C-alpha cells in the first residue's frame, strides 16, 4: 500500500495555501525601502522641470548650497564631469540623468540636493534658480513627424528627426493578396492612451558606499536586481563583485520598477562623493509624472474577411509615442515589444504589421504595465477589431470568434507573426463564459430593454499572452540572455531554503515556490523558506516582469528540486542497501520496489547527506538550476461584461463580469484568483476612470490622484471567476503557465466592447479609453467616434 503524503495537506501543487508573506505585511512588519535607516544617512530630493521642452540657459545653485544642513547639490554639469550626465537605457538609447542642454519633458530631473533631512533637501531644491528658454512641445507622433518639427534629441548624432525606429514583421505580399480576395474589409483606428502603473510604494533607493571596503550596497525598489547590478557596474564603472543590490519588500511593481531611473544613479554618486548612505524616496507626483508610463500607441488596422465570417488576413500599423527617451525594458530583438502577438489565438492565414516609434516631449513611455511587453495593446486592438468586424459582417461576436479560433487539434500552432503557441482550448473557455453570463438570455433582455429606451450592452474579450521570456535563442535584454535560476539547500533536518533570480512584488513567490518544492520532494511547504532580491545571495536571474516567474524561475525551482531528488535517491539506495534501480519514489518517500514497506523519507535522506553518505559521494544536499525555457507559455482567457449605459449622462455601470482563465496547472488557486481580480480591477480602472494626458504645451494633465483615479473597493464591480478549463503547458515541468497580467491585458476591451454594444446603431465605431461619461455622452449625442488623443485643452 502506498504511504505517499497527501499533497494538499503538505501545501503542494493545487493547495490554496495562505500567503506566508502576509504574516508580516498585515502586522505592519514589512521591510520596504523607506523602512530602512542606516547610521549617518542623508536624504536626497530631486528638482524637476516645470516645462516640457526648453533650453537651459543657466542653473544657479548658490542659494541652495547656503542653506544649513545641505551637503551636496548635483547638477547636470557636475554629472557631466564624471561622464554621468547621460546613462544608457535598456533599449540601446541614452537618457539624461540630470539635464544639461535641454529639458525634454515636464517633470524631468534637473538637479538634486542631499541634506540632513528630506524637508531641507526639498526647500533647497526650490532655492535653485534655473533659467529656461521655452521651445515648442511635441505631444504626439503626428506632430513629431510633421515637416519642420523641432528635433527633440539634438543631443544625438545621426538623429536628424524624431523617429526612433521603423519596424515590420509578417508577410506583406500574402496579406496584400488576401485583401484583394476579401468580400468585406473592416477597419478600425484607435489610440490606446498613456496609463501609469502607480504602485502604492513609489520608487526609491538607499545607496551606501563604504570607502574602507570599496563596497557599494544599494537597497532599492527594483523588480530585477541582477540587471541593475550589471547596469551600475557599467554606468558607474564599479567592479561587479563590489556591488550588492538588495531589493527589500516591494509595495507593488506592475512594471514601474523595471527601468533604471535617474534618482537611483544620483543617490549612488552622492553616496560615493559623501561617503555616507544617501536615501532617495520619490514622492507620489514625482512617480506619476516622470517614471515609466505605459501604452500611448496609435493603432490602425484592417481585416480582410470572407462573407461566411472567416478571417483571411490582418494588416496593422502602430505609431508608438515613447516620450523623450526610448527606455523600454524589452527583448532587444523586438522594437515594439511583443505587439506582434496580436491575433495569435485566431487562425489568421496572413498578416503584416508595421510600427514606428517616435520621440515626444513626454516622460519616457512604452514600458510594460502589467503586460508582457505591449501585449495589452496587442490584445486590446485584436478584440476591438474582432468586435468591429463581427458588426460589419452582421455576425454574432461569439460566433465570429468561434469560427476563427485556433482549434484544439492545431497545437502547437505557428502564428502568422512567427510565434509557436504551446496549447489551449479556446472554444471551450468561450462556451464556459457564455453559459456563465447567460448569453442568450441577456440578448433577449437587451432587445426588450431597448424598446423601453434602456441601453444594455455585452462585451466579450479574449486574450492569449506570450509569457515566460524567454528562450535564449531569441530573447535577451542588452545582450544578456533571458533565462532564470533557483538554488535549493536542504539542511540536515530536512528543512530548506530556496533562492531564485526572480523578485516578488506582491505576487506571493514566498508561498508558491515552496509549494513547487513540496510537490517535487514531499517536504511540507512550511519547511521551505524562500528568499529573493539580494544579489549577494540569490543566483543570477533576470527578475520578475512579463509574468515570467512561473514559466521560467518556477520551472527552475522544479528542476533544482529534481536534481536534489536524484541525489536523495542515491542516498536512499545506500540507506536501504539496494541498488538505485530497485528504488521507487512516491511523494515524500523512496521505497524498495519489491518490498514497498521498506522505505526512507526524504528527511532521512537529508540527514544521511550530512551523516551517512556512501563512499565517494560528495556530502551535502544542495544544488542550483538554470532554466532556459524551450518556448513561451500561452495562457488564454475569456472575459465577458454586461453594462447599462445612461443615454442622458453617458454614465455606465457594470451589471456582471465573468472571467474564464486557463493558465494551465495552478500552483496556488487562491493566489491565482487574487492575481485575476487585481488585473480585472486595473482593467476596469483603465477603461472607466484613469485619465492622464497632455496639453499642447506638454503639460501633464491629470498628473495627480484627484484626476488619475486608483480604483477602490467602492467603484470596483464584483467578478465571477471560472477555473474549470485547464490546459497544461506541454513544455513546462509542472504544466503551469503565467497568470500575473492576463486580466489586465484582456480586461479593458471587454468593458469597451460592452459600452459600444450598448450604443450599437449610432454608427459609433470607437471611443478611446477612458470611457468617461462626457465621451460616451458625446458619442451618443453626436453619433461620432470620440478620441482622447493629446493634445487636450488644459481646462478639459
Q: Which residues bind ligand CUM (CB under 6 A)?
A: 223, 253-255, 258, 368-372, 545-546, 741
Least Å distance between CB 556 and ligand CUM?
18
Any catalytic annotation for residue 605? no
Distance CA 154, CA 101 (A): 9
CB closer to ligand MCN, 652 vs 684 = 684
Residue 424 interacts with ligand MCN (CB under 6 A): yes or no: no
Residue closest to ligand CUM when measured from CB atoms = 255
- Grid coordinates given for 100: 544639461
3-state helix, strand, coil in the chain (%, to 5): 30, 25, 45
CB closer to ligand CUM, 425 vs 504 = 504
CB closer to ligand CUM, 153 vs 370 = 370
Residue 247 interacts with ligand MCN (CB under 6 A): yes or no: no
Per DSSP, helices labelled H in 452-554 are 509-521
Distance CA 74, CA 158 (A): 30
Least Å distance between CB 665 and ligand CUM?
22
Distance CA 606, CA 612 (A): 10
CB closer to ligand MCN, 324 vs 638 = 638
| Residue 672 burial (10 A CB sphere; 0-12, 13-18, 19+) | buried
Distance CA 338, CA 366 (A): 12
Any catalytic annotation for residue 370? yes
Phi and psi at 397, nearest 5°, equal -65, -30
3-state class (DSSP) for residue 697: coil
Which of ligand MCN, ligand CUM, none lies near 668, with the C-beta cut-off 5 to 8 A by kind?
Answer: ligand MCN
CB closer to ligand CUM, 97 vs 228 = 228
Which of ligand MCN, ligand CUM, none lies near 739, with the C-beta cut-off 5 to 8 A by kind?
Answer: ligand MCN
Residues numbered 367 to 406 that lie near ligand MCN (CB under 6 A) are 370
3-state class (DSSP) for residue 587: coil
Q: Which of 45, 510, 520, 741 is catalytic?
A: 741
Residues numbered 505 to 544 that lie near ligand MCN (CB under 6 A) are 505-509, 512, 544
CB closer to ligand MCN, 486 vs 576 = 486
Least Å distance between CB 193 and ligand CUM?
17
Q: Which of 112, 125, 345, 371 is catalytic?
A: 371
Least Å distance between CB 623 and ligand CUM?
28
Instruction: Give the 3-state DSSP-derived string for 328-364, with helices as H, strands as E and coil as C.
Output: CCCCCCCCCCCHHHCCCCECCCEEEEEEEEECCCCCC
Least Å distance between CB 265 and ligand MCN?
23
Distance CA 796, CA 794 (A): 6
Residue 548 interacts with ligand MCN (CB under 6 A): yes or no: yes
How far from 112 is each of 40, 43, 216, 282, 786, CA to CA, in Å? 19, 10, 20, 12, 41
Q: CB under 8 Å to 9, separation ≥6 — which residues?
A: none
CB closer to ligand MCN, 439 vs 545 = 545
How far from 246 is each of 216, 250, 304, 606, 638, CA to CA, in Å? 11, 11, 52, 30, 38
- Grid coordinates given for 686: 483603465
- Grid coordinates given for 404: 476563427
Contact predicate 638/433, CB 8 Å: yes
Least Å distance between CB 377 and ligand MCN?
15
* Residue span 616-655 as binding mask against ligand MCN, x where in contact by CB under 6 A, dash where not: ----------------------------------------
3-state class (DSSP) for residue 471: coil
Q: How many residues does the chain have?
A: 796
Which of ligand MCN, ligand CUM, none lies near 477, with the C-beta cut-off 5 to 8 A by kind?
Answer: none
Residue 549 interacts with ligand MCN (CB under 6 A): yes or no: yes
Least Å distance between CB 638 and ligand MCN?
17
End-to-end CA, the chain:
73
Residue 464 interacts with ligand MCN (CB under 6 A): yes or no: no
Closest to 135 in 3D by CA, of 150, 154, 156: 150
Per DSSP, helices labelled H in 83-193 are 118-126, 141-144, 172-180
Q: Which of 107, 259, 494, 740 binds ligand MCN (CB under 6 A)?
A: 740
Any catalytic annotation for residue 194? no
Phi and psi at 641, nearest 5°, equal -130, 140
Question: Within its chain, how far is the Cα of 577 from the centroid?
Answer: 51
Which of ligand MCN, ligand CUM, none lies near 43, with the C-beta cut-off 5 to 8 A by kind?
Answer: none
CB closer to ligand CUM, 223 vs 681 = 223
Q: Which residues pair with 249 in a beta bridge?
A: 32
Of the listed pieces 31-39, 431-439, 499-507, 762-770, which binds ligand MCN according to CB under 6 A? 499-507
The count of chain residues that interact with ligand MCN, using the rule CB under 6 A, is 34
Least Å distance between CB 666 and ligand MCN?
4
Least Å distance between CB 665 and ligand MCN?
6
Q: CB under 8 Å to 791, separation ≥6 — which residues?
A: 139, 140, 693, 694, 695, 696
Q: Which of 95, 108, 143, 223 is catalytic?
A: 223
For the packed helices 426-437 and 439-451, what is the interaxial angle rounded to 10 degrees? Answer: 50
Of the listed pieces 35-43, 81-89, 730-738, 749-757, which binds ligand MCN according to CB under 6 A? 730-738
Contact predicate 459/762, CB 8 Å: no
Per DSSP, helices labelled H in 535-627 are 555-576, 602-611
Least Å distance between CB 331 and ligand CUM?
12
Distance CA 526, CA 303 (A): 53
Residues numbered 659 to 688 that lie near ligand MCN (CB under 6 A) are 663-668, 671-672, 675, 678
**159-163-169 Cα angle (round to 5):** 125
CB closer to ligand MCN, 678 vs 788 = 678
Distance CA 415, CA 419 (A): 5
For the packed helices 669-688 and 742-758, what is the interaxial angle rounded to 10 degrees? Answer: 40
Distance CA 780, CA 782 (A): 6
CB closer to ligand CUM, 47 vs 546 = 546
Sign of the alpha-carbon dihedral angle for 782, 788, 791, 796: positive
Which of ligand MCN, ligand CUM, none lies near 736, with the C-beta cut-off 5 to 8 A by kind?
Answer: ligand MCN
Which of ligand MCN, ligand CUM, none lies near 192, with the C-beta cut-off 5 to 8 A by kind?
Answer: none
Least Å distance between CB 69 and ligand CUM?
37
Q: Which of 209, 219, 254, 359 binds ligand MCN (CB under 6 A)?
A: 254
Least Å distance between CB 560 and ligand MCN?
16
Which of ligand MCN, ligand CUM, none lies near 789, with the C-beta cut-off 5 to 8 A by kind?
Answer: none
CB closer to ligand CUM, 370 vs 731 = 370
Which of ligand CUM, ligand MCN, none lies near 286, with the C-beta cut-off 5 to 8 A by kind?
Answer: none
Closest to 154 in 3D by CA, of 77, 100, 76, 82: 100
Which of ligand MCN, ligand CUM, none lies near 663, with the C-beta cut-off 5 to 8 A by kind?
Answer: ligand MCN
Q: Which of 19, 295, 370, 589 is catalytic?
A: 370
Residues numbered 692 to 721 that lie near ligand MCN (CB under 6 A) are none
Q: Which of 546, 573, 609, 752 binds ligand MCN (CB under 6 A)?
A: 546
CB closer to ligand MCN, 527 vs 661 = 661
Helix (H) or strand (E) holding 167: strand 163-170
CB closer to ligand CUM, 555 vs 568 = 555
Binding site for ligand MCN (CB under 6 A): 252-255, 370, 505-509, 512, 544-550, 663-668, 671-672, 675, 678, 736-741
Catalytic residues: 223, 370-371, 741
Amino acid at each position: 500500500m502506498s504511504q505517499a503524503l497527501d499533497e494538499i495537506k503538505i501545501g503542494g501543487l493545487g493547495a490554496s495555501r495562505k500567503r506566508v508573506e502576509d504574516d508580516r505585511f498585515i502586522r505592519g512588519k514589512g521591510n520596504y525601502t523607506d523602512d530602512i535607516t542606516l547610521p549617518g544617512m542623508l536624504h536626497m530630493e530631486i528638482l524637476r522641470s516645470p516645462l516640457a521642452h526648453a533650453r537651459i540657459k543657466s542653473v544657479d545653485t548658490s542659494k541652495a548650497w547656503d542653506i544649513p544642513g545641505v551637503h551636496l547639490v548635483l547638477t547636470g554639469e557636475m554629472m557631466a564631469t564624471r561622464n554621468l550626465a547621460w546613462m544608457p537605457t535598456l533599449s540601446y538609447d541614452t537618457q539624461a540623468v540630470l539635464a544639461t542642454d535641454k529639458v525634454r519633458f515636464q517633470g524631468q530631473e534637473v538637479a538634486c540636493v542631499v541634506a540632513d533631512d528630506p524637508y531641507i533637501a526639498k526647500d533647497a531644491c526650490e532655492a535653485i534658480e534655473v533659467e529656461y528658454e521655452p521651445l515648442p512641445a511635441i505631444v504626439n507622433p503626428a506632430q513629431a513627424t510633421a515637416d519642420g518639427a523641432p528635433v527633440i534629441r539634438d543631443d544625438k548624432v545621426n538623429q536628424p528627426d524624431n523617429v526612433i525606429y521603423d519596424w515590420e514583421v509578417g508577410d506583406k505580399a500574402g496579406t496584400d493578396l488576401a485583401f484583394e480576395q476579401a468580400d468585406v474589409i473592416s477597419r478600425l483606428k484607435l489610440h490606446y492612451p498613456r496609463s501609469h502603473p502607480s504602485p502604492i510604494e513609489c520608487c526609491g533607493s538607499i545607496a551606501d558606499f563604504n570607502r574602507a571596503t570599496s563596497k557599494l550596497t544599494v537597497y532599492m525598489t527594483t523588480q530585477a536586481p541582477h540587471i541593475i547590478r550589471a547596469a551600475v557596474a557599467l554606468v558607474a564603472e564599479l567592479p561587479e563583485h563590489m556591488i550588492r543590490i538588495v531589493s527589500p519588500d516591494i509595495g507593488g511593481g506592475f512594471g514601474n520598477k523595471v527601468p533604471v531611473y535617474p534618482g537611483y544613479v544620483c543617490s549612488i554618486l552622492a553616496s560615493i562623493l559623501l561617503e555616507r548612505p544617501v536615501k532617495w524616496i520619490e514622492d507620489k507626483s514625482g512617480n506619476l509624472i516622470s517614471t515609466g508610463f505605459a501604452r500611448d500607441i496609435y493603432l490602425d488596422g484592417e481585416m480582410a474577411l470572407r462573407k461566411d465570417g472567416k478571417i483571411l488576413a490582418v494588416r496593422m500599423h502602430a505609431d508608438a509615442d515613447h516620450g523623450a527617451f526610448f527606455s523600454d525594458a524589452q527583448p532587444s530583438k523586438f522594437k515594439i515589444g511583443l505587439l506582434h502577438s496580436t491575433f495569435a489565438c485566431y487562425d489568421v492565414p496572413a498578416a503584416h504589421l508595421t510600427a514606428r516609434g517616435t520621440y515626444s516631449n513626454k516622460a519616457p513611455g512604452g514600458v510594460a504595465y502589467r503586460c508582457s511587453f505591449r501585449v495589452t495593446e496587442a490584445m486590446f486592438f485584436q478584440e476591438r477589431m474582432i468586435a468591429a468586424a463581427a458588426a460589419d459582417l452582421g455576425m454574432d461576436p461569439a460566433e465570429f470568434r468561434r469560427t476563427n479560433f485556433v482549434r484544439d487539434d492545431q497545437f502547437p500552432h505557428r502564428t502568422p507573426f512567427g510565434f509557436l503557441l504551446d496549447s489551449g482550448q479556446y472554444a471551450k473557455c468561450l462556451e464556459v463564459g457564455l453559459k456563465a453570463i447567460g448569453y442568450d438570455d441577456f440578448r433577449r433582455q437587451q432587445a426588450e430593454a431597448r424598446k423601453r429606451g434602456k441601453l444594455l450592452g455585452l462585451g466579450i474579450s479574449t486574450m492569449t499572452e506570450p509569457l515566460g521570456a524567454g528562450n535564449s535563442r531569441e530573447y535577451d535584454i542588452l545582450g544578456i540572455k533571458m533565462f532564470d535560476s533557483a538554488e535549493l539547500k536542504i539542511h540536515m533536518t530536512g528543512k530548506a531554503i530556496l533562492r531564485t533570480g526572480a523578485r516578488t512584488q506582491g505576487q506571493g513567490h514566498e508561498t508558491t515556490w515552496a509549494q513547487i518544492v513540496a510537490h517535487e520532494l514531499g517536504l511540507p511547504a512550511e519547511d521551505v523558506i524562500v528568499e529573493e532580491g539580494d544579489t549577494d545571495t540569490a543566483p543570477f536571474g533576470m527578475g520578475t516582469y512579463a509574468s515570467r516567474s512561473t514559466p521560467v524561475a518556477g520551472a527552475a525551482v522544479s528542476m533544482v528540486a529534481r536534481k536534489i531528488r536524484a541525489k536523495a535517491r542515491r542516498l536512499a539506495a545506500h540507506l536501504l542497501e539496494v541498488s538505485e534501480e530497485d528504488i521507487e519514489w512516491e511523494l515524500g518517500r523512496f521505497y524498495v520496489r519489491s518490498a514497498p514497506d521498506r522505505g526512507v523519507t526524504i528527511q532521512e535522506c537529508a540527514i544521511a547527506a550530512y551523516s551517512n553518505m556512501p563512499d565517494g559521494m560528495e556530502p551535502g544536499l544542495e544544488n542550483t538550476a538554470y532554466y532556459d525555457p524551450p518556448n513561451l507559455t500561452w495562457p488564454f482567457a475569456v472575459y465577458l461584461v454586461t453594462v447599462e449605459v445612461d443615454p442622458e449622462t453617458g454614465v455606465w455601470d457594470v451589471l456582471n463580469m465573468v472571467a474564464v482563465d486557463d493558465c494551465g496547472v495552478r500552483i496556488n488557486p487562491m493566489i491565482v484568483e487574487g492575481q485575476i481580480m487585481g488585473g480585472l480591477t486595473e482593467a476596469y480602472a483603465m477603461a472607466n476612470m484613469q485619465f492622464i494626458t497632455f496639453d499642447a504645451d506638454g503639460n501633464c494633465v491629470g498628473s495627480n490622484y484627484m484626476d488619475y483615479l486608483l480604483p477602490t473597493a467602492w467603484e470596483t464591480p464584483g467578478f465571477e471567476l471560472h477555473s474549470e478549463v485547464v490546459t497544461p503547458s506541454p513544455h513546462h515541468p509542472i504544466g503551469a503557465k503565467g497568470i500575473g497580467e492576463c486580466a489586465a491585458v484582456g480586461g479593458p476591451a471587454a468593458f469597451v466592447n460592452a459600452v459600444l454594444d450598448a450604443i450599437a446603431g449610432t454608427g459609433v465605431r470607437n471611443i478611446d479609453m477612458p470611457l468617461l461619461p462626457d465621451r460616451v455622452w458625446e458619442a451618443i449625442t453626436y453619433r461620432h467616434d470620440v478620441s482622447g488623443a493629446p493634445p487636450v485643452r488644459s481646462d478639459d
